Each structure stands twice: as structure tokens, then as C-alpha cells.
Amino acid sequence: MPESAQRDPAVPILPDVQYYSEAPGRVNLLGEHVDYNGGAVLPMAINRSVRIEAKVDKNGTCRIDAIDLGKSVEFSLDSIESKTDKNGKPLPSWALYPAGVAWVLNNEGYCVKGIHAAFGSSVPVGAGLSSSAAVEVAFAALWQVVGDWKANPLELAILCQRAENQYVGVNCGLMDQFASACGVEGSAVWFDTRSHESNAVKLPENTVVVVADTGVRRGLVSSAYNDRRASCEEALRHFQGAIPGIMTLREVSIDEFNRFSAGLAEIPLKRSRYIVHECARMDTALDVLSRSDAVAFGTLMNECHAGLRDDYEVSCVELDAMAETAWKLAGCYGSRLTGAGFGGCTVSLVERAEVGGFVVGLRAGYQDRTGRNAEVYICEAVRGARAGLNSH
């Protein structure tokens, strides 16, 4: 789904709409790539979302219209097991996300009714703002209200993660689906991916979150995302030999990493070094934010970018150019790539009084360095997914 303008929710996409759902994208402020290593993360649901309008299909078929793509697909609960449409043709890649949600809900015993649904998005695709998770969560919330069954937002997020892992084939952690389902208006959310504990966290006073899109795109399935996870698992097995009882890289301290990392091959060494230090940064972040210390939090963001660039190796020329440009601008406390990497967006924490000049300077500086134009968004923290009967 290419990016589209935010739709007026009062204007139906479908005639005779019965139901709607909406799920936001997210930006992660700190704790990148640690959600599949047991770490804590700090996402924020943002004011860009996927919106679905739907009506029940009495024949039990699911027809999904991707408005931004101008494409449609029809499948049944029988056909999705083989990832095919009702005519036996392979599902297009965009349709794997709603079909995967239907598949996992059906397998878990939830009522999945046939629907005719149309959806559009204002979350840029492939930009690291979790457009795929927003699609998954929006469809899960929709089928929940259509089927009249109960699940809390965290349960919906876990089901959607399972769909992406087992059906789509991306071995992602839980952060993206959690943020889309459980976002808190006006706050970021500290989320412990090991215990599933979460708390709303206010950002430093008089600051604004700014997201800048490099325009460079990557596909998660075809990228090196799964390779990074495999390297972390290899490193974990190494440390388990030296530190009995640990289950995740989060449990390895910086001191233990320095003591026991000898013998690791170069790639798992670098990947795990980043994870261990990023988990330590997350431990520091809560204290920093409790003091509303924008300077200290910005430093953590900058250190995160350096680690993602040098040890996790998921940055690119354009992401580095965007972050480095931001670092030199007045009012910027910190800036780093956000999301899986290999392209997409940066996130910056900016002094509110300087945000206008920052946006202008960031666009100009990025264009000078790369020849590319940047889309820049001033983001607000919004609530997680919602769904219900259409009121129009």
C-alpha cells in the first residue's frame, strides 16, 4: 500500500458499511531489535493509521479491497491454509497480512466471519513505521467486533505477531503489534517483551517527536532481518555455556559480555554486542525520562544509531545522512534510525520551540547530501486500535 492522504473517517470507502476499525502505525524511540531478545522497548503509536470499513459477506467469503493499490483478493477459510485465493492462485504479498490474521484466529478457535472489507493507509509502507502490523491489528480488531468475541489488546497483538511469524514468514518480535494495539494517547509506552509488563511514559517536557522518511525501501522478508535474529540466537547459545540459566541476551550484562565473548565468531559477536548495550541503554532510559532529561535521552538515541550502524549493520547511506544532518541542527537532542533498518525513517527528539526550523533544515540538509527529498512528519502519540459499528 503506497502512502495515501489521511482519509476523512466520515466518508465511507464502501457503500452500506456496517463496521469499521482503525489501527495506528508506530515509531520506536529506543530499544531497537531487542524485542526478540527479551529486551524492553519504547514505542509510540502515531497519528498515521490503517482504516478498514467492512460489511458481512453472507456466503462466508472474505473479499479484501486494498484501496491504495487498486487491487482486490477473495479467499475462504479453506483456501488460506494453502495461501491461495478462492481460485487457487497464490495470494499476493499484501494479502498475506489480513489472510494470516484470519488463519491464526481460525486456528485458535475465534469466530472469523466472511466480510467484504476495504482498507486504506496513511502509514508509509516499508518505512519502519510498522505498516504491516497496523494492517494485522486493524483486521484482528475488525474480526473481533464482527464475530462478537472477547480478547484484550495484548492478546490481539500476540495473535497478530503469530500471524506474521508463522504465516507471512517474518520472524519479528512483539513490539510492533503491541504498539499498534496498546498505544496510549499522549505517551510513549515502555514495554517489557519478556514479562509483557507495560507502562505509559511521558517524554521530556517541551519536546516533539519528528519522523523523517529517507524514501529508501526494503522488504522485511527478503532483507537480512531473519539473519540478524539467527546471529543473536547463535550468540545466546554461546553465552548460555558460560552463564547458566539465562534465556535471552537481555540477561547478559556488559561486564559479562566483555568477560565471556571470546570465542564468538565476528558476526554474532558484533550483533550481540549491540543487543547487550541497547538493553543497558533501555535500563538507563527509564531513569532519564523520570527526570525529563531530554539531553541524556537524546544521547541514548545517538548511541543507539551508532550501534545499529556499526555492530548491527542495518543502517544505510541515506539513514546515516539523515541522522547526521539532524545531529547538527538547533534544537535536536537526538536522532537515529527507527524500525528494522536497511532504509525507512529516522526518529528525532526535538525542542518544541525549534521544530519549525529543524524540519526545514533537515529537509534541506538531506537533499544536499543525497539528492533525495524527505517527507518529514511531526508525530503525536495516539491510542491503540479501535473498532465498532459504523455510525455513518
Kindly name the residue from 65, 176, 213, 311 that is annotated as catalytic. 176
Least confident window among 9-13, 163-167, 381-385: 9-13
Q: Is 7 a residue whose pLDDT tops 50?
A: no
CATH number of this structure's domain 19-195+382-389, picked from the four choices 3.20.20.10, 3.30.230.10, 3.20.20.80, 2.60.40.420: 3.30.230.10
Average pLDDT, integer, range 62-76: 94
At residue 128, the pLDDT reads 64
pLDDT digits (tens, 9 = 90+) for 337-365: 998 888 899 999 999 999 999 999 999 99
At residue 130, the pLDDT reads 73
Average pLDDT, integer, range 289-317: 97
Q: Is 6 a residue whose pLDDT tops 50?
A: no
Q: Is 217 a residue whose pLDDT tops 90?
A: no
Average pLDDT, integer, range 27-39: 94
pLDDT digits (tens, 9 = 90+) for 114-133: 999 999 998 877 666 678 99
Averaged pLDDT score across all residues of the chain: 92
At residue 371, the pLDDT reads 97
172 compared with 61, residue with greater pLDDT: 61
Average pLDDT, integer, range 381-385: 97
Q: Is 9 a residue whose pLDDT tops 50?
A: no
Average pLDDT, integer, range 12-34: 88
pLDDT digits (tens, 9 = 90+) for 133-158: 999 999 999 999 999 999 999 999 99
Would you place residue 10 in the very low, low, confident or very high pLDDT band (cuts 50, 70, 90)? very low
pTM beyond 0.75, yes or no = yes
Among residues 24, 69, 15, the alpha carbon closest in space to that of 48 is found at: 24
The domain spans of the chain are 19-195+382-389, 207-379
Q: Is 208 a residue whose pLDDT tops 60?
A: yes
Q: Is 221 a residue whose pLDDT tops 60?
A: no
Q: Is 17 a residue whose pLDDT tops 90?
A: no
Least confident window among 46-50, 52-56, 223-227, 249-253: 223-227
**Domain 207-379 is classified in which CATH homologous superfamily?**
GHMP kinase, C-terminal domain (3.30.70.890)
With a pLDDT cut of 90, the percent of the chain lying above it is 83
Average pLDDT, integer, range 284-311: 97
Active site residue 176: yes
At residue 131, the pLDDT reads 87
Average pLDDT, integer, range 225-245: 94
